[in-house]
Amino acid sequence: MSNRILAFYGSYRSDRMGIRLAEYVVERLRHRGDDAELIDAKSINLPILDRMYKEYPKGQAPEVLETLARKIREADGFVFVTGEYNWGVQPGLKNLTDHFLEEWFWPPAAIVSYSAGRLSGARAATAWHGTLSEMGMVVISSTIGVGFIGQALAPEGAPLGENGQALEQAFPRFAADLTWWMAAARAQRHRKAPPY
C-alpha cells in the first residue's frame, strides 16, 4: 500500500537553498513507492494568520484552506523540512501550520532540518518537535540534519560532498522509521477510532 505523505517547506527567501532538500525528500520518498507531495508555503502564500480554518463557517473557508485541509486529513504522514532562523523556526512554515489544528491529529510527523552552517538546523528541529506534538502529531525520533546546505545538494538535487553523502546514508533509516509509524497509526485507526 502506498503511503500518502505531505512534505512541508516554508522559506520565502528569493535565494532559498532548502528547497533543494525539500525536493530531494519528495523524490526519494516517491522512489520508495510513496505518494509524496511537496507543500511549499511560499507557493500557497497564506496570509498571516487571522482566522484558522476551523473558525470559518462550514463551507465558507477560502478554497486554498479547504484544499489544504483535505490534503492534510487524507495524509498518512508528514515531513517538515525546516531551516533555522535565529535559533528558531521559519515564520512561513509556522504560519501555514497554524491555520489548522484538528486536521493534524494522529498521523506521524518527521523533521528534516538544515542550515547554512555546521549545526544543521538542530535548534529549529528541537523547536518543531514540541510544536508538532502540541498540534496532535506523533513526532518520530529519527531526524535528518543537513549542515552547509548550499554545499550539500546541487541545484538539481544531487548530493554533494560529505554532507550530501551523510544525507544519502541517513535517508533510508529515516524513511523506514516514518513508514513503520504510518503503518502503526493506520492499524490503530482500523482497530479503534481516535478518542477525539
What are the extents of the domains in the chain?
4-191
Q: Average pLDDT, stretch 1-30?
A: 95
pTM reported for the whole predicted model: 0.96
Percent of the chain with pLDDT over 90: 94
Scored b (16 or more CB within 10 A) or e, 51-89 reads eebeeeeeeebeeebeebbeebeebbbbbbbbbbbeeeb
Helix (H, G, I), strand (E, B) or coil at 72: helix
Sheet of 108-114, strand order: 35-40, 4-9, 77-83, 108-114, 138-146
Q: Which CATH number fits domain 4-191: 3.40.640.10, 3.40.50.300, 1.10.10.10, 3.40.50.360?
A: 3.40.50.360
Burial class (CB in 10 A: 0-12, 13-18, 19+), 46: middle
C-alpha cell at 134: 502540541
Average pLDDT over residues 148-166: 94
**Contacts within 8 Å (CB) and 24+ apart, 164-169:** 167/21, 167/24
Placement of cell 496532535 in the chain: 136
Q: Which residues pair with 80 in a beta bridge?
A: 8, 111
Contact indicator for 57, 44 with CB cutoff of 8 Å = no
Task: Please report which confidence band the pLDDT of residue 195 belongs to, taking 50, 70 and 90 as the band edges.
Answer: confident
User: Are the C-beta atoms of residues 142 and 79 closer than 8 Å to each other?
Assistant: no
pLDDT tens per residue across span 33-77 = 999 999 999 999 999 999 999 999 999 999 999 999 999 999 999
Predicted pLDDT at 1: 66
The model's pLDDT over 102-137, given as tens digits with 9 standing for 90+, comes to 999 999 999 999 999 999 999 999 999 999 999 999
**How far is Cα of residue 193 from the mean position of the Cα atoms in its chain?**
25
